[in-house]
Structure 1
């Protein structure tokens, strides 16, 4: 159901107001921790003010796009709030992208300036060096590097309405093709920050594990902004390490952890039967959760592993399981309060509960559109505000959603529908398998199923072993025509598997003979 108007009116107008909410009553409360250094809420606000003044001095105006190239760090968070105060757009880019990818984004968004967080990221420092960016020191933010001023950059109009003013331009990870710049408004991100804070029941004394990249909307709105919205403390980590995560969970008082399934897979590989921790809430999102992984994590950590679903275009959260109603299946839960969802056929007609169709969503979390691509924006969000997710789902009578797969990933083999997630779930249950990814490959008049697998130990199973395993558990039309074992599946910085690369690999025949 639509969100009550009073809730939207109670949201702050801009992102930078989030940390300021704590100044009157809790200025010295910890806001961010990075490598043992603590910033209070007062220090975070002061750092954002320093960054604002510096950005203004180097020519940044309202409506400008400013690229932030780095990894999770205090300076990056402060810079996002500084850009909010200037009404400039934060184009947050993970430093682990290649120089070509970063240049593609810079050119597309026509960034006025590029800021490299060189002190916190070796890759950011290398990118800065590659383009000859100027090394600088900026107050509490420390060492940065600044790219040249783009005098051809034209500012976008500044909107007083928080629902119309862009706060962040997030480029998709490319899992479904070429990256697209998703325009997210202040209200988009603030609505999800408030929702995430409430659904996690965050308290000011919570310590939240912040390893998901802030360059990804999951790490930005749900983890970072959601934590600060509640006045809790975010412990920033630039990169995921299973051993370092286990140490932090045992020693640093972490109470809340949000991750992607790949992170939990790695944790299980290195942790003992009952790892020490102070967690009260764990959550997986960003990619499909396998039933076997959910059961294993819950057995080791003694907590329900909550699940959810979203996408960059919805800021990102669409649905989430509830803390007071944990599930034993891999449902992504009901829609979050305040948004509408519908399961439809190809013509947009609603389907009954239990039927598989495209999931559509409408609400204050839906993007403004794709930057400089009005045609694709209109195809994705209709005139009534419904976002076409491109994902296939079904809804049960109790409102719980189950994601079946992407409509573009649907494989039609000899007239039968094959949903990759179903094959992947069976493969991932094999004790030798770390990850799997299933894609379709076009052949004359038909499609084939191709599976890619990453093993814990290459000596534990062969492709033939896994095909025999599947033959006992899947209908013939669902079984892969080919199964390829890779040293590691290609993945984005968030851990999401890059299926576009695997589809290309399968289609080009590069796997022949393996």
Structure 2
């Protein structure tokens, strides 16, 4: 196929990479630790681990897991926020020849039971703060036999460890009561593993490394089966894309996005291990005052985030102090996971001196597919070019390639693409088409230089009397209306048009009226894209990663129209619950 993007690659970026420089992620980790031994690898809440120290702890935890008698490939869940324990647990699992199941620690007991039941997890490493949730889920998880529990300060030096754990548990009361008979404290597990020793396990690129749960391209959560080769290839692709913009052993990256999400897993944890960087792990980025204080004290060279995170920082008190203290240090700001709003990107560049470089990917692709050049002078508003060894095609509903410039489904092929959904062959068959192409479920277009532009999620498309309205496009227009802080668009059933466009607005100006919003939409949107319903809320429902929960928004609006007995055209002045 024609690859127009390659001739527009930045200087030094190769068209292809070696996808398997190491047999496994465990071998990769071992190599990184050998090369950067004494350099600090991870920092959390003021305490850190060098590469040497991290490697010793990983081997001890791997030795403990091997002593449990788990067969190669058995699934081990990791349920914790960003912390020193996270990389130790993950690489301990991988080096023991087992498979990591990343878990959102904010899950309810029922959500946890569904995910771990599907994965048939044999063991779990869980923060004590969330052990009460696990306790509730355990009766529904007969396969889960081994529980390892850790406290936030467990890997801190004394007396900091005792003080931190005491404050979190007994002063702040952040640990709900729990009881799991037979649970093993992480520090005990590390001691046992040290006594038993660790035996290297042969692992190949095709072996399963992660089951990464996602809403996927077809709806309900599924586990993307990612191999060691998938992740290793994406690390190589991403670092090749940097083309020397970052220096080995010299970078400090702020990791505020959760490592249990595949974007931070690859772009922060894996990539900065390869670069010998120092990863500053932020456990609770929602605590903006403490986050800003951390940034003020840290000379960081790279930060990754999502639109909501960058926006929150820009609006935070005392962020100007961060700007001053970091002047000249920041080299790269990277965004992924959700679309970046241009006003946010422009404010960030003005404040920090570097643009937000946007990328695109999904859990099924380990995750990175496209990226903008890291030397771009300004925010582009596009997803970027396909990265090395990656092919992207825009296809119609019959899986036929479309000409450049036309809108269709973004399809991907490359060594970072998952091998399928865990235990779901029918779902896997739905997203793979002839030639090994993965259907992403995202709608976009490609220009003549190979830049991909996102239009919307296929499942979020609103069809109004046969015409296609894309929520992301409408939201972009509405956000330019003075007085609008945020907004979300969904489709709701309508007797006359099939579906109607419903708009929820978060105001920055309390005096903003519905009519002002409607007039703005009339000026900038064709008639079928204009919202039939306009409601105001104090905030939008979002995931832990910052994405708008459109399904919840839609359910709220549908319930609203039913409760008040109004049709789409008359429900606009009501308030959703």
TM-score normalised by the chain length of structure 1: 0.90
Residue among 440, 452, 455 paired with 2:504 = 452
> Where do 1:404-419 residues align within 5 Å?
404-419=455-470
**Residue 325 of structure 1: how far off its partner (Å):** 3.0
Q: CA deviation at 1:379?
A: 1.1
Give the greater-gyration-radius structure (CA). Answer: 2
Q: RMSD value over aligned CA atoms?
A: 2.8
Residue 129 (structure 1) shift = 5.1
CA 1:375–1:331 in structure 2 vs 1: closer, same or farther (change >3 Å)?
same
How far apart in 2 are the matches of 1:148 and 1:383? 50
Decide whether aligned partners of structure 1 residues 345 and 264 sit closer, same or farther in structure 2, where only a CA change above 3 A counts: same
Does structure 1 conserve the Cα–Cα contact (< 8 Å) formed by 2:98 and 2:209?
A: yes
- Structure 1's consecutive aligned runs of 4 or more residues displaced over 6 angstroms after TM superposition are 1-6, 132-135, 141-150
Partner of 1:155: none
Other structure's SS at 1:235 match:
strand
Matched, 1:320 2:371: yes
Give the match for residue 190 of structure 2: none
Range with bigger deviation, 356-365 or 244-253: 244-253
1:195 matched residue in structure 2: 237
Question: Following the alignment from structure 2 to structure 1, what is the Cα–Cα distance between the partners of residues 318 and 337?
Answer: 25
- Residues 395 and 326 of structure 1: is their aligned pair in 2 closer, same or farther, counting only changes over 3 Å? farther
Distance 2:343 2:81 in 1: 31
- 1:485 deviates by 1.9
Deviation at 1:437, TM superposition (A): 1.5
* Structure 1 residues 348 and 443: alpha-carbon distance in aligned structure 2, compared to 1, 3 A threshold: same
Separation (CA, whole Å) in 2 of partners of 1:273 and 1:135: 39
Matched, 1:181 2:223: yes
- The DSSP-based 3-state class of the residue aligned with 1:412 is strand
Q: Normalising by the residue count of structure 2, what TM-score does the alignment of the two structures yield?
A: 0.80
Tell which deviates more after alignment, 365-374 or 445-454.
445-454
C-alpha separation between the residues in 2 aligned to 1:225 and 1:25? 15
Q: Unpaired segments of 5 or more residues in structure 1?
A: 151-158
Listed as ranges, the matches of 1:104-123 within 5 Å are: 104-118=114-128, 122=129
Structure 2, unpaired ranges of 5+: 7-13, 139-145, 166-174, 184-200, 565-573
Q: Residue by residue, what CA displacement relative to the aligned partner does 1:158-203 show, whole Å, maximum 9, x if unpaired?
A: x967442111111115897421111111111112222333434332
**Deviation (angstroms), 1:59:** 4.0
Residues 475 and 89 (structure 1 numbering): CA distance in 2 closer, same or farther, change over 3 Å?
Answer: same
Out of 166-175 and 36-45, give the one that drifted further. 166-175
Structure 2 residue matching 1:44: 3-state secondary structure: helix
Please list the CA deviations of residues 65-95 of structure 1 after superposition, one character each: whole Å capped at 9, or x if unmatched: 1111111111111111111112211111111
Q: Is the 8 A contact 1:359 1:391 kept in 2?
A: yes
Asked if residue 342 in structure 1 is aligned to residue 393 in structure 2, the reply is yes
C-alpha distance in structure 2 between counterparts of 1:134 and 1:340, whole Å: 42
Residue of structure 1 aligned with 2:278, choices 217, 233, 236? 233
> Is the contact made by 2:506 and 2:536 (CA closer than 8 Å) also made in structure 1?
yes
Q: Give distance in 1, aligned partners of 2:429 and 2:334.
A: 33
Deviation at 1:271, TM superposition (A): 5.0
Contact map agreement 2:235 2:266 (CA 8 A) in 1:
yes
Q: Counterparts of 2:347 and 2:127 in 1: how far apart (Å)?
A: 37
Contact preservation (8 Å) 2:58, 2:92: yes
Distance across 1 between alignment mates of 2:418 and 2:363: 8
Q: Is the 8 A contact 1:441 1:448 kept in 2?
A: yes
Q: 2 CA distance for matches of 1:5 and 1:325?
A: 21
Asked whether the equivalents of residues 113 and 149 of structure 1 are also in contact (C-alpha less than 8 Å), the reply is no
3-state SS in 2 of match to 1:286: coil
